[in-house]
Amino acid sequence: MKHAPQYLETMESLVPLIRDHRRYSVWQFDMLCDWWAFFWNRGTLAFVIDERGDAQGVCAIKLFNRLAQFLEPFVHEPTGKFCMVDLLVAVSPVAIADCFEILFKRWGPQEVMIWERGDRTEQTNRAPRMYTWAQYLKLTNRLTYGLVKEESIYG
């Protein structure tokens, strides 16, 4: 697949962090670029890159309407009621908060938040963890040491 130079430059920074997730640890650069282009092109990828060009955080979400769609790799229904965090890797709580803010500004609050549990979901046929928006904000508040406020405009 052919990609824009800006995208490839960004991916060069993000790939080391994406590879921190076991699922993507051995993927080749070209394959990662092809896979993540789906999220990039739909605005469901948020990232933080510092002034040195080092990735500090990356988060990808999927938006859909039916629960069973969480298993589909390339689903995008922005008016659906489910939002799944497909990937979140960050070096600090600040990077998690920044990724949250980026995606919140694009998509707003969601009815049901799902956190992908990888092998636990796929190999044991267990449902992913699901949260109401308020519960997800509480979790995000804890992960960011209070940088994302539960009682803010997000609820």
CATH of the domain at 82: 3.40.630
d(CA 49, CA 31): 21
User: Per residue of the chain (155 residues), what is the pLDDT tens digit?
Assistant: 899 999 999 999 999 999 999 999 999 999 999 999 999 999 999 999 999 999 999 999 999 999 999 999 999 999 999 999 999 999 999 999 999 999 999 999 999 999 866 655 556 666 788 999 999 999 999 999 999 987 654 44
Measured from the Cβ of residue 4, the count of other Cβ atoms closer than 10 Å reads: 10
- Amino acid letter for position 52: R
Indicate the number of domains in the chain.
Answer: 1
Site of tokens 């497909």: 86
Measured from the Cβ of residue 31, the count of other Cβ atoms closer than 10 Å reads: 12
Q: Is 49 within the bounds of a domain?
A: yes
In the structure encoding, which two tokens stand for residue 149, read together?
């406020």
Non-local CB neighbours of 123 within 8 Å, separated by 6+ positions? none
Q: Is 90 within the bounds of a domain?
A: yes
Which one-letter DSSP state was computed for residue 44? -
Q: Is 31 within the bounds of a domain?
A: no
Q: Is 123 within the bounds of a domain?
A: yes
Q: Is 68 within the bounds of a domain?
A: yes
Q: Is 34 within the bounds of a domain?
A: no
d(CA 140, CA 81): 19
Range of the domain at 131: 43-143
Q: Is 127 within the bounds of a domain?
A: yes
Q: Is 85 within the bounds of a domain?
A: yes
